[in-house]
Structure 1
Amino acid sequence: MKKLLFGALALGLMFSCNNDNMSSQNEMDPATTPSVTAELNRNCFSEEIRQEDLQKSPELRQRFTELEANTEMFSKNTQLGKVLTDGTVEIPVVVNILYSNDAENLSDARIAEQIDVLNADYSGTNTDVSKIPTEFQSVKAGDVKIKFRLANTVRKATTTTSWVRDTMKKSSSGGIDATSPSNYLNIWIVGKVVSTDGRTILGYATFPESAGLWNDGVVIPAPYFGKTGAVTNFNLGRTATHEVGHYLNLRHIWGDAKCGDDLVADTPTQTSENYNTPSYPLYNRCSGKNRSVMFMNYMDYVNDAAMFMFSAGQKTRMQAVVASTGARSGLRVY
């Protein structure tokens, strides 16, 4: 188990979303794992962007420090029974669609379908929750007590077919400006997102230290949003579940480093990210002992059908963010 530490961890290290493929029942060393090019794998660069922004901005570094200090205090108070409300919030969502063809102009039904997936996954009522192994039943989150409600859909035709970081969030660059980012979760849907080194990105999000800023929110290309019409392996709406996790202050479960720390005590340390559809148990190589990893966690990189849980520790981190003292307290509470 990992200790709940933050200190200089995220400020002193530069992490990346790697491109490794886990293909056996023991996690492979990222240095020796072959690259997979024939099949699209989950890939996001939320943490990469976060680290770049933290390096550049003293204000964001201060926000980050306060965010993690508040999260640690909230966690301690929760353990002591000092958090008296049930913490339930409803997050109003604005979906901003930038489409260059009819396939990218997603239907209202598909958007509603994605909101339904978010509500099921975050309430622990997803139909595949029964797949959680007995080993992890004691630490499953159950109901995270965060709900989502579609508030508005904004559509805009564009000739841009491939987008780079945050350009879709500015009307001045052909995108759509965020709707009141302090009070709404903005999700931008585009045709394609590529990183500066040419990787196809399934999605990315800003973390809570960016709360209320012009670029705050989630970006997901149309092929990976919702269920009906989405591409194979990513057609259960879990890309949004993963990226909204970042928006609510969850890191990748492997801590974006070999045997890294995701700042959650009840998620087992794992060597690196996992891909495709592993079979349980999958063992890590971090402690010298055979210990199975929680690859079915929404914050790993497996296919949609292989991820179906948050942990209780992750729930606490998310609740800390939406609490009245949290960075995302501007989201509607009821």
Structure 2
Amino acid sequence: MPDEQPLPQPRIRKCGAPEVHQRLLQDPEYQARRLEIEQHLTRFLYFGLENARPGVTEIPVAVHVVYSTPDGNISDAQVASQMDVLNKDFRATNPDIIKVPAVWTNLASDTRIQFALATTDPKGAPTSGITRTSTKTSSFSTNDDVKSAARGGADAWPTDRYLNIWVCQLGGGLLGYAQFPGGPAASDGVVILHSAFGTVGTATAPFDLGRTTTHEVGHWLNLIHIWGDRLDCSGNDDVADTPPAQRPNYGKPVFPHVSCSNGPNGDMFVNYMDYVDDDAMVMFTQGQAARMAAALDGPRSAMGRTVVANPEV
């Protein structure tokens, strides 16, 4: 294989989840499943079930490393660093949560969701939870080729039992993408650019704190971008405690950033579901935690197990 020039590290966040969602919406069955999921969410919140789930849900993770260059074959330590970030972010124990402006500190939420690399593979054999696949494909896109061994990637482990995360080289400036609940089982999961995964190894600033995976797993648990993927103030993320926002925020905004008549506090750009740099996104809200709880009660109800865990750990 001839030497290939590495693709430049993206400088602004770009997520492919809306593109995947729009593609899947061409399927009437996906449309129907998405409607059912949102109807379940409405009932779930109406009956106040967001706190009914006992304890903490631990989700087993399969990380599929798909690489065409040595850099892309990331280390176990890089994978472990990402798992640590996920657990801190979803449990609201991340030290940088102190960056949340005072007006929103009461909204920052422990989702009572945590993650662990799978210890048993689909056949019941012991595993590290990490697979490694060498490929001739130099970069992937949102077309899900990375999720198929026949197309140069790696097949998913059963997606009703594992959160599948593919780590690879992505093109087009993508940092990652996810599939919302309700999509095809074979492609369910999250895809992350290897240099935006974890906090060591190939992780590269400004996306070197593992927040791309936090963002995409949020989508996998049915969260929408805080501006609702419209640019005219009519977008809605269907979460009551995130202010409306006109468009994504990038980089490191200064509080307050006002749009869509949302003053005096403005956009909640510190939210994991915005497009800011890794060191500027630091929180999920109570409403987002409730929406994720509804996903675990509904379309992802077979996922994970209840564990006893100290929220302070």
- 2:181, 2:15 → 1: CA distance? 17
Question: 1:217-260: per-residue Cα shift (whole Å, max 9, x none)?
Answer: 00001110001131111000000000000000000010001221
Q: Where does residue 150 of structure 1 map in the other structure?
A: 117
1:77 and 1:83 in contact (8 A); partners too: no
Paired position in structure 2 for 1:31: none
What per-residue deviation string (whole Å, max 9, x for no partner) do you get for residues 43-73 of structure 1?
012012102211x211111100110001111
1:147–1:39 distance in 2 versus 1, CA, 3 Å: closer
Identity of aligned residues (%): 44
- Give 1:53's aligned amino acid: L
How big is the shift at 1:39? 6.6
Distance 1:40 1:253 in 2: 20
State the 1:309 CA deviation: 0.3
Q: CA deviation at 1:138?
A: 2.2
Match of 1:183 in 2: 161
Per-residue Cα deviation, 1:266-285 (whole angstroms, up to 9, x for no partner): 0000110000011111111x
Q: Which residue of 2 aligns with 1:171?
A: 149
Given the alignment, which residue of 221, 224, 243 partners 1:251? 224
The alpha-carbon deviation at position 288 of structure 1 amounts to: 7.5
Post-superposition CA distance 1:177-212 (Å, at most 9, x none)? 000011100000112x23xxxx310000000112x6
What is the distance in 2 between the residues matched to 1:249 and 1:312?
14
Matching of residues 1-334 of structure 1 within 5 Å = 40-54=11-25, 56-78=26-48, 84-86=52-54, 88-141=56-109, 143-151=110-118, 152-164=129-141, 165-191=143-169, 193-194=170-171, 199-210=172-183, 213-229=185-201, 230-258=203-231, 259=233, 260-284=235-259, 286-287=260-261, 289-323=263-297, 326-334=298-306
**Structure 1 pair 201–288 and aligned structure 2 pair: CA distance change class (3 A):** closer
Aligned-partner residue type, residue 99 of structure 2:
K
Gapped regions of structure 2 (runs ≥ 5): 1-7, 119-128, 307-313
> How far apart in 2 are the matches of 1:83 and 1:271?
31
The number of aligned residues is 285
User: Structure 1 CA distance, aligned partners of 2:227 and 2:13?
Assistant: 14
Root-mean-square deviation (CA, aligned residues, Å) is: 1.7
Contact 1:202 1:239 in 2 (8 A): yes
State how far apart, in whole Å, the 1-side matches of 2:292 and 2:160 are. Answer: 16
Letter in 2 for 1:281: P
Task: Name the CA distance, whole Å, in 2 between partners of 1:204 and 1:181.
Answer: 16
Unaligned runs of 5+ in 1: 1-36
Provide the C-alpha distance between the structure 1 equivalents of 2:139 and 2:51, rounded to a whole number of angstroms. Answer: 45
The answer as to whether partners of 2:50 and 2:293 remain within 8 angstroms in 1 is: no
1:39–1:321 Cα change, 3 Å = closer
Contact 1:204-1:220 within 8 A present in 2 as well:
yes
TM-score normalized by structure 1?
Answer: 0.82
Distance 2:237 2:55 in 1: 23
CA deviation after TM superposition for structure 1 residue 42, in Å: 0.3
- Residues in 2 aligned to 1:154 and 1:39: alpha-carbon distance in whole angstroms: 26
Q: Between 39-48 and 221-230, report the one with greater CA deviation.
A: 39-48
